[in-house]
Structure 1
Amino acid sequence: MATFFSPIKVGNVHLEHRVVLAPLTRFRATRSEHVPVVPLVKEYYEQRGSVPGTLLVSEATFIAPEAGGYSYVPGIWSSDQIKAWKKITDGVHAKRSYIFLQLWALGRTATASVLTEEGNYPLVAPSPISLSGSPSDAPAPRALSIAQIDRYVGFYVQAAKNAIEAGFDGVEIHGANGYLIDQFLQDVSNTRTDEYGGNIENRSRFGLRVVDEVVKAIGAEKTAIRLSPWGRFQDMKMHDPIPQFSHFVSSLVESHPKLAFVHLVEPPPIAERTDVKHLSKIPEESNDFIRKIWAPRPLVTTGGYTREDALKVVADNKGALVGFGRHFISNPDVPFRLEHNLPLTPVDRSTIYTPSDKKGTEKGYIDYPFSEEFLKERNSNSKAHSVPEERHVVESAVLVGLVGLIGFQALSWWRGSR
């Protein structure tokens, strides 16, 4: 039986434990160029990769300018962005950990004024259905044409290629939480009557095309996808998501059985409460139907887990990993703390989204402390690793001395024999 702290192979990488950094938007990129701010962001990810063998999933990252619509969020289309990300991935790998880039397209959830400001881009979606609570003067989203859908598939492919160029170990396609792929999947946001809507197979088509083409570009072992069948965020949750998402994940099993992992957002209340003692108090809302389809392949599950719940889900499900968000923000060594059952530092919610150009952006980002126990163990390991190197230097010096002595004796003999 697997434990929370046992190794697992995910795609092409070998992890030392089952604790995953869940993707977390933090607004620490430049406002409109969407370049991660280095060295700030580099230090943030290095800290969270400090326990060797940890899998990090990056913050959601725009695949193209017109797929965005928020300020201070990173992108992966420009050379400056790729160069900045390469410094970050190098830093994570120096810690002997791994990182996937989450690929993001907003669809109807974008801020129309930001799209206009950054390139006069339209607000788009599968269907012209606005989010509830949108400003009265906000435009309704335009339904994407077939040609535009093809263009977006191309954005995902190029973004995946750029991610590999930037040193990422793989990509996670964001298909959750009411963003573009999720908008296509669910009938509450997709009322199309062409090949991209109207029934389960057609609503799955866009997301499956994206996965197919990304896999062709970078390989299945470097590709993952995140889904949220039960999520209500941003006007989502169809009446019965089980048939829709069963078809989608079954199609992944059939076409891409070696996909790195599937990442699930757990249903309410676990995703909306911090005091949850059980995985779900609503029996009919469970991701177990996907677990049965995807098992025994790697599956990351995220949503307000306690240590006890995380231990149980890994023990009960082969291939399970658990993503942590808030706990990973305020505990950069959270895998170590969970393993040793150490107290967790609470997160300061007021600092989660401090933009990169605001005073104090470092606060609540790179200033959370490591546990004393982790620092002691890390220092102890550093000293242990330094001993062989010092011994090697001494042994080399002795060897040089012996060679010199032998050479001197040989020279003396040669001179004496003349």
Structure 2
Amino acid sequence: MASTTSSSRLFRPLKIGSKTLQHRIALLPLTRNRNDNEHTPITIMEKYYADRASVPGTLIISEATATSYEEQSKRNIPGINTEKQVAAWTKIIDGVHAKGSVHFQQLFALGRTSDIDYAKERGLPYRSASGVPLEGVDTAPTPMTETEILQTIQDFVASSKNAVAAGADGVEIHAAHGYLLDQFLSSSSNKRTDKWGGSIENRARLTLEVVKAVSAAIGPEKVAIRFSPFAGFQGVAKDDIEELYTYLVKTIKELVPTFAYLSLVEVRGDPGEVVLGLKPANEGKTLDFLLEAWDNFAPVVVAGAYTPESAVAAVDGRYGKYDVIVGFGRPYLANPDLVYRVQHGIPLNKYNRSTFYLVMSDVGYNDYPFSQEFLAAKIGA
């Protein structure tokens, strides 16, 4: 790697909300099923997050966290709804802060992406915007009632308050990759004829109401949102991408006076490609139209199979006129000192996909080594 990496804009400070990052590399949300069977984080997760916060001033974004008991509908994903869950997250976030880094809690509702058998076992609803089943799934979700939709908004508010109570510096609303908010955004999954479906304005209503309510509850400087405009993963392909997402970001700018950040997934970050090996449906398209519409209202996290080299090229070249942060997922899992390695041109550990989802296991989680160079530098010691 070129020795000029450390002089890149990638290693210049940047403010998100009221917090200042010391560089522009972030840990992306990574579901890894290390929570216990009651959806509470366990002790090994404290080390995992603290290790990846080891370079001070790093943005750490948590794994997707269920907004309510009803949305804890996949095994071993976390919640932040009970006193025990909040207490467990408090320990994790304290560890991130002890390293001088910044923690945002990603929050999501699953809708029709729930594990049907597990939901049935626990007596949880299986629901979505409409009764459109996921491809390959025999059971159709129940269309949500107005009451359930309004409760979903309040669940985002309650879990956001809990995250802040646990010490989080902010929350990231997950409106991407086919989860519930994305199910409302897409006309592929949203066939409603009421005010929550049909037009772009109606399909965007739930997401925007969540942004508005959460911002009012915890302050807009503590609120971020994630979109995956090009992803067709989990049946949310869209034929009005530019119109829909331009409307979303322009409306967010009208709704709130400030914002923490906008997180966007590149075409190559579609889980359909990354996980399933499918050819991306929108190959060749770019995020340029969205960054232009957003116009540096707040920093933008970009994600999608970035390497150290392409991260430098992104912040110094392609996105040079924007305040961009580059998110890393799988490489960050395998390299707790990833920020240091990128800055100093140190080769990365390779990740082991077969250990990604080993329930409550340290294997493939806390057994990836720091570089000898990082240990010798005694960062934060």
Q: TM-score range by the shorter chain?
A: over 0.9
Partner of 1:313: 314
- The gaps in structure 1 that reach 5 residues or longer are 275-279, 383-418
Q: Which amino acid aligns with 1:299?
A: V
Q: Name 1:301's counterpart in structure 2.
A: 302
- CA RMSD across the alignment: 1.8
- Counterpart residue type for residue 57 of structure 2: G
The one-letter code of the counterpart of 1:29 is N
Note if contact 1:270-1:305 (Cα within 8 Å) is conserved in structure 2. no
* Cα displacement string for residues 154-201 of structure 1 (whole angstroms, at most 9, x for unaligned residues): 100000000001111110000000000011111111111110111010
**Letter matched to residue 81 of structure 2:** W
2:120 matched residue in structure 1: 116
Q: Secondary structure at the match of 2:10?
A: coil
Give per-residue Cα distances to partners, 1:210-263, cap 9 Å, x unaligned. Answer: 000000000011100000010021112212311011101110111124110000
Number of residue pairs the alignment of both structures matches? 365
State the partner residue of 1:405. Answer: none
Match of 2:221 in 1: 221
Return closer, same or farther for 1:68/1:281 CA change in 2, 3 Å cut-off.
Answer: closer
Q: Give the distance between the partners of 2:110 and 2:269, measured in 1 at CA.
A: 25
Q: Matches of 2:372 and 2:8 in 1, distance apart?
A: 28
Q: CA deviation at 1:281?
A: 9.4
Deviations 1:359-390 (A, max 9, x none): xx1111111111111111116x74xxxxxxxx
Deviation at 1:17, TM superposition (A): 0.2
* Correspondence for 1:48 among 52, 68, 72: 52
Tell me the residue number matched to 2:340.
336
Q: Residue by residue, what CA displacement relative to the aligned partner does 1:67-120 show, whole Å, maximum 9, x if unpaired? A: 2310111101000000000011111111111111110100111012211222x1
**Superposed counterparts of 1:239-318, under 5 Å:** 239-268=239-268, 272=273, 282-283=283-284, 285-296=285-296, 297-315=298-316, 316-318=320-322
1:281–1:187 distance in 2 versus 1, CA, 3 Å: closer
Determine which of 23, 29, 41 is the counterpart of 1:23: 29
Q: What letter matches 1:26 in structure 2?
A: R
Q: Take 2:221 and 2:269, find their aligned partners in 1: how far apart are those partners?
A: 32
Q: Which has the higher contact order (CA 8 A, sep 6+)?
A: 2
* Cα separation, 2, equivalents of 1:82 and 1:71: 18
Alignment of 1:131-142 (within 5 A): 131-134=134-137, 136=138, 139-142=139-142
* Counterpart contact for 1:29–1:37, Cα < 8 Å: yes
Fraction of identical pairs, as percent: 42
**Contact 1:226-1:264 at 8 Å conserved across structures:** yes
Contact (CA 8 Å) 2:33, 2:358: kept in 1 or not? Answer: yes
Q: Identify if the C-alpha distance between structure 1 residues 116 and 99 changes in structure 2 by more than 3 Å, giving closer, same or farther.
A: same
Q: Look up the match of 2:165.
A: 165
- What do residues 5-54 of structure 1 show as CA deviations (whole Å, max 9, x unaligned)? 100001111100000000000101011x110002x000000100001100
The answer (yes or no) to whether the contact 1:22–1:56 under 8 Å persists in 2 is: yes
Which residue number in structure 2 is paired with residue 391 of structure 1?
none
Structure 2 distance, partners of 1:338, 1:268, is: 21
8 Å CA contact 1:269–1:281 kept in 2: the answer is: no
Structure 2: tracts of 5 or more residues without a match: 1-6, 276-280
Q: Which of 67, 84, 89 pairs up with 1:80? A: 84
The 2-side partners of 1:221 and 1:45 are apart by 23
Alignment correspondent of 2:19: 13
The answer for the alignment partner of 2:41 in structure 1 is: 36
- Alpha-carbon distance between aligned partners in 2 of 1:282 and 1:288, rounded to the nearest angstrom: 14
The within-5 A match list for 1:90-105 is: 90-105=94-109
1:173 match: secondary structure: strand
Report SS of the residue matched to 1:162: helix
Q: Which amino acid aligns with 1:30?
A: D
1:394 maps to which residue? none
Whole-angstrom CA distance in 2 between matches of 1:273 and 1:206: 28
Structure 1 stretches of 4+ moved >4 Å = none
Match of 2:4 in 1: none
Shift of 1:2: 7.0
